[in-house]
Amino acid sequence: MQAEPSTLVPVLPQGCTNFKLRQLMRRVAAHYDAEMARCGLKTTQYSLLSHVLKLGPIRPGDLAAAMKMDASTLTRNLRPLVDAGWVTLEAGTDARSRLVHITDAGRDKRAEAQRHWKAAQQALNAALGVERVVALHALVDDALESLAALPEQETPHGE
């Protein structure tokens, strides 16, 4: 007696991918935000300090492009860092240009924040398991590469 070949039923995604990703992102962001708040920074501010440290001195337009945000969002996000004395906006090569510089206080704040970021990352790795985090990174990188061919859409707030 011969076994009948099984009929394979394709597994289709259930639910809204956008909703699931936003749900995951909100949970991960809340985790990092809570840890970063311990040093008085938002995760966006830590990211800005890190980019200015790595790329600066840099023109605001180039910084916005590197961070994939529009200029008005960058300006709004830079203001608290300037007010705190962590970055400065100084004259560039001509009267119309400006450069974003990180200050010594900004370097110190970024180093403090990096310790909190690392604690958040390690806690996430422990909660999910390092193997799952590595697989998640690979899946996200692969998905971003696959989606690169789609036209980018402007968001209402330039995010």
**pLDDT tens-digit profile of 17-44?**
999 999 999 999 999 999 999 999 999 9
Domain of 33 in residue numbering reads as 19-147
**pLDDT tens-digit profile of 120-137?**
999 999 999 999 999 999
Residue type present at position 48? L
Enumerate residues 6+ apart whose C-beta is below 8 A from 109: 39, 41, 49, 84, 86
In a domain? residue 154: no
User: What pLDDT score was predicted for residue 9?
Assistant: 80
Of these ranges, 4-18, 57-71, 112-126, 144-158, the one predicted with the greatest mean pLDDT is 112-126
In a domain? residue 11: no
User: What pLDDT score was predicted for residue 66?
Assistant: 93
User: What pLDDT score was predicted for residue 159?
Assistant: 46
User: What pLDDT score was predicted for residue 13?
Assistant: 81
- Residue 118 exposure: Cα atoms within 13 Å on the Cβ side: 6
In a domain? residue 88: yes
In a domain? residue 64: yes
Q: What is the CATH number of the domain that holds 84?
A: 1.10.10.10
User: What pLDDT score was predicted for residue 1?
Assistant: 57
Report how many domains make up the chain. Answer: 1
In a domain? residue 105: yes
Instruction: Give the predicted TM-score (pTM) of the model.
Output: 0.78
- pLDDT for residue 158 is more than 50: no
pLDDT top residue among 158 and 126:
126
Specify the length of the chain in residues: 159
**pLDDT tens-digit profile of 69-121?**
998 999 999 999 999 999 999 887 776 788 999 999 999 999 999 999 999 99
In a domain? residue 85: yes
